[in-house]
Structure 1
Amino acid sequence: MLAKKLYLSLITLFLYNSHFHQCFAQTKEKPNVLFILVDDLGWADLGAFGSEFYETPNIDRLAKNGVKFKNAYTASPVCSPTRASIMTGKYPSKTYHTDWFGAPQPWNYQRHWTRNKPLVPAEYNPNMELEEYTLAEAFQDAGYKTFFAGKWHLGEEEEFWPEAQGFHINIGGNSKGAPSTGNKYFSPYDNPKMDNGPEGEYLPLRLAEETASFIDENKGDPFFAFLSFYSVHTPLMTTEELELKYLKKRAKMNLTDQFEPEYANMNRTTQAHAVYAGMVEAMDNAVGIVLESLENNNLLDNTIVIFFSDNGGLSTAEGSPTSNLPLRAGKGWLYEGGIRVPLIISWKDKIAQGKESNIPVISMDFYPTLIELAGLNEVFKGNGNIDGISIATILTEQEESISRNEMYWHYPHYGNQGGNPGSVIQEDAWKLIYFYEDERIELYNLDADIGERNDLSQVESEKAKYLQNKLKNWLSGTNARLPMKKDTN
């Protein structure tokens, strides 16, 4: 009997290992990729990340089935630079994509509200150059069917839109950073890259249906699908049903709109905005539609799913619809609320499930990570001096470190939300911010002070000096463009 049990155990182990290696071999061949990018979603805007007001069951379930990153960062506190960093794997300071495309340039700032500011903002490149070998082009060259839906905002002219940057199909991607034409979030959209739907159709659900249809039609071939929501960017618009739901929930929870005077704006401290909550739930419903298409087509175990936001939540301007507490400030600021965002990576049966990682990662890391996970290293042409680091090892149960000592941010512009031109270095838990207006520094230890309330630049002067010199050398090494003092002559 003992021998029989041992024999059966060995057979079971052999079959398990055979199945594992067979799955791994298939995975190494060509796994699918679904990248979901949300616009302006804050670090605390999901149930899985602590929100008690917004309801996000589909995304929460994705987090339970994958790895949740608590220290994930965008390359910029505004959208276009982060989007470019995902596509190129490079710091925006290198490619000169340092502001949202359409922001004032040095030669026209006089016609903009920044004309009254002490500095002239740095020049930036308003197009992601065609010479860049994008993440989409890498997958396209590897034989993948590539698909884009939603917000692009990486080129002023059509020659720089998704079809020219590695995507076979483009639904809705153009120069716009928000749904500002037609009926905006509701059809008719008057979007040059997307047909209008039935009157009253809601944009996030339409983009999800387009993505799901693409998956249905390409389930037999490897695909790289990039669902880039316009949600939850302004204008703040949701359905009457969802708004009413959250007005009732707000009253039941006895919530009120609360703000604290901070910086030049009022900073929201409560998540209580019913319309914004409706937008978050609609976005979550849209994610559910796409995940359901993967499940129905039996593709979950061979699809890498990434969920991310392009910058922090909007908390200090334009209606201040959300709160990022305990983080400081929000979109447009170099404080944590502007650059720390939710990140979830899921890949059924291939990576850890229900794991939470505190390792700092940044948006450039997706490029080398997906190249490695998809097994494209041998055919990858390269994109020259990529700044991202593969975080593939973090996705296992074993590894909890990557070979990076520091991260940087460079935002030499005035943010529409009140932020000032600055640059940042973060090494371990230490974060130094340099502000160009008054050449001032602030130093924080994020382990002890995640809200960045206790400036240690005077107490830890040696640490501040060390980090400031390192930041200065990095800026010089990347040929970063700087804001300029106005000519007073």
Structure 2
Amino acid sequence: MNNMAVLLRTITVIALTLSSTAEIAQVTKADARQTAQRPNVILIYADDLGYGDLSCYGSTKVKTPNVDRLASQGLRFKNAYATSATCTPSRYSLLTGEYAWRQKGTGIAPGNASLIIKPGRSTLPGVFKAAGYQTASVGKWHLGLGGPEGPDWNGDLKPGPVEVGFTHSYIMAATGDRVPCVYVENHRVVNLDPKDPIQVDYKQKIGDEPTGRENPDKLKMKPSHGHDMTIVNGISRIGYMTGGKSALWKDEDMADVFTKQAVQFIESTQKNKVAAQPFFLYFATHDIHVPRVPHPRFVGKSGLGARGDALLEFDWEVGEILKTLDRLQLTNNTLVLLSSDNGPVVDDGYQDQAVQKLSGHRPAGPLRGGKYSAFEAGTRVPLLVRWPGKVKPGQSDAPISQIDFLADFAALLGQQYNHTDAPDTENQLNALLGRDPTGRAEIVEHAGTLSIVQGSWKYIDPSDGPAFEKFTSTELGNNPQPQLYNLATDLGEKRNVANQYPARVQQLKQRLQEIRQKATQ
């Protein structure tokens, strides 16, 4: 080969190399742009956390510095709502974009309930999964497991979270006060000895395990009402259980176990930096739900009894998540949301001194009612949103409902969803990110009866239910007559002005009826 040919070949190789390098650079820039538009998303979903329980929402009796850090770096909403005043329906609505009251069997689920979210339908985790995200559910589930025949605790527990859009799950089936008291990873009970099979019954006693009713001397925490069936870890529960001794949880370790699982999931998504997928983590903590048995390192630290100590434990969990994002340099490209499934309750079944040691703390803040209630404290909850560089820190008055999270993130990620499956979710992404101060035109609240908030007006539909729950000392908001409140001047819902504004009552009643009929049209 002569010198000219060698020169030409060299020039060709250099040109091809430069061209290839330019193409790689273009692809890398494109990937970087796509990654920037597809943030990691963490939804920290607290249990029974009230509007007044956090120091960033005005609490002076308990300090929550890690949550406060999230608030100071993000957006704090004053008018954010769960859809229901209890856990199962709120979680159903959050994950499906459909109001739970449209479907039978979506009330507070027993520990042996079948899965109430139909596999194959549109879901919030399904939206992320379709967008190429790794998705995980860690913590409280309380949406049932298994088919119509119920859960097979000694076999494959499916369908469950994996069948409705999560690529990984590490959960408790229901709540801490309900059997079975075991962890479930994907489709199996963790640490189950097949020679000691689990049996669960919610109608009659099975086996010879001691119960709170029969053996109160074996309890380290006594029930105040109900919660007197099978004893696990010195605490009597709702429901009967036998077997599975090697798999039983220890309540004091629950926050540590779930937090470790959440951190490990985040870490696992970063093992291969080149091919790392974005992730969605639904971190549903069990605090501050009963039984409140925080780890010994938190006991007595709040001065407010077990409930206050559980608030400190929850704040620690939030801090561990934030520290993990900082350590892995994920903070700037991770959207973190923190909210609650319903409002607060103090005595919810155990003698844990939460009532006696409130010491002036107001879990509902300025709101009336609490968990189970049609009044504002039942469903108006904290909501914090942090996304550095994308969400301007501050405060928002925009009305926000968790029912819209499915449509919000579908819009953010450019994904489609089945509007028949999710008839109630609507795109309020700009309000969620602080770009629109208007928010939702109306909020629908569910607590036995339905309520609607439109602007400053709130209408509560008549109900024949009890006005007061004596066991939990909760004003339930039920009334056989229509109720109308002007929240702008009467946030505590003390003055029912339905008689003064009959036209407003009729307008809101009609609008609520239209919403009820929406899915059948």
> If the length of structure 1 is used for normalisation, what is the TM-score?
0.74
Corresponding residue to 1:222 among 268, 278, 282:
278
State the one-letter code of the partner of 1:400: P
Corresponding residue to 1:376 among 404, 414, 417:
414
Maintained 8 Å contact 1:40/1:309? yes
Maintained 8 Å contact 1:101/1:127? no
> If the length of structure 2 is used for normalisation, what is the TM-score?
0.70
Once the 2 structures are TM-superposed, how far is the Cα of residue 56 of structure 1 from its aligned partner? 1.2
1:270 equivalent in structure 2: none
Which SS does the other structure have where 2:122 is aligned?
coil
Corresponding residue to 1:279 among 277, 302, 310:
310
1:40 equivalent in structure 2: 48
1:208 equivalent in structure 2: 259
Structure of greater Rg: 2
Maintained 8 Å contact 2:367/2:376? yes
2:137 equivalent in structure 1: 148
Residue 357 of structure 1 pairs with residue 401 of structure 2: no
Residue 67 of structure 1 pairs with residue 94 of structure 2: no
What value does the CA root-mean-square deviation take over the aligned residues?
3.0
Once the 2 structures are TM-superposed, how far is the Cα of residue 311 of structure 1 from its aligned partner? 0.4
State the one-letter code of the partner of 2:371: K
Once the 2 structures are TM-superposed, how far is the Cα of residue 390 of structure 1 from its aligned partner? 2.8
2:213 equivalent in structure 1: none
1:127 equivalent in structure 2: 116
Residue 430 of structure 1 pairs with residue 419 of structure 2: no
Which SS does the other structure have where 1:34 is aligned?
strand
Instruction: Describe the superposition over 1:262-303 as per-residue Cα deviations: whole angstroms up to 9, x where unpaired.
Output: xxxxxxxxxxx3211111111111111111111111111111
Q: In structure 1, how many angstroms separate the alpha carbons of the residues matched to 2:46 and 2:513?
A: 32
2:12 equivalent in structure 1: none
Q: In structure 1, how many angstroms separate the alpha carbons of the residues matched to 2:74 and 2:520?
A: 38
Provide structure 2 residue ranges, at least 5 long, that are not aligned to the other structure: 1-28, 147-156, 192-246, 271-275, 356-361, 465-478
Q: In structure 1, how many angstroms separate the alpha carbons of the residues matched to 2:434 and 2:171?
A: 38
1:253 equivalent in structure 2: none
Output aligned runs, 1:401-440, within 5 Å.
401-402=438-439, 404-411=440-447, 421-437=448-464, 439-440=480-481
Which SS does the other structure have where 1:242 is aligned?
coil
Residue 232 of structure 1 pairs with residue 283 of structure 2: no
Q: In structure 2, how many angstroms separate the alpha carbons of the residues matched to 1:277 and 1:43?
A: 14
Cα distance change of structure 1 residues 286 and 179 upon mapping to structure 2, 3 Å threshold: farther
Residue 56 of structure 1 pairs with residue 56 of structure 2: no
Once the 2 structures are TM-superposed, how far is the Cα of residue 132 of structure 1 from its aligned partner? 2.0
Provide structure 1 residue ranges, at least 5 long, that are not aligned to the other structure: 1-20, 104-123, 248-272, 412-420, 481-489
Q: In structure 1, how many angstroms separate the alpha carbons of the residues matched to 2:184 and 2:33?
A: 45
Corresponding residue to 1:325 among 365, 372, 382:
365
2:505 equivalent in structure 1: 464
Maintained 8 Å contact 1:97/1:126? no
Cα distance change of structure 1 residues 427 and 54 upon mapping to structure 2, 3 Å threshold: same
Instruction: Describe the superposition over 1:170-195 as per-residue Cα deviations: whole angstroms up to 9, x where unpaired.
Output: 11242x1335458x6xxx86996445
State the one-letter code of the partner of 1:329: G
Instruction: Describe the superposition over 1:132-167 as per-residue Cα deviations: whole angstroms up to 9, x where unpaired.
Output: 211111211222111111111112534342111111
1:13 equivalent in structure 2: none
Between 162-171 and 445-454, the greater mean CA deviation after superposition: 162-171
1:367 equivalent in structure 2: 406
Cα distance change of structure 1 residues 326 and 156 upon mapping to structure 2, 3 Å threshold: same
Residue 297 of structure 1 pairs with residue 318 of structure 2: no
Q: In structure 2, how many angstroms separate the alpha carbons of the residues matched to 1:329 and 1:147?
A: 33
Corresponding residue to 2:300 among 244, 250, 253:
244
Which SS does the other structure have where 1:342 is aligned?
strand
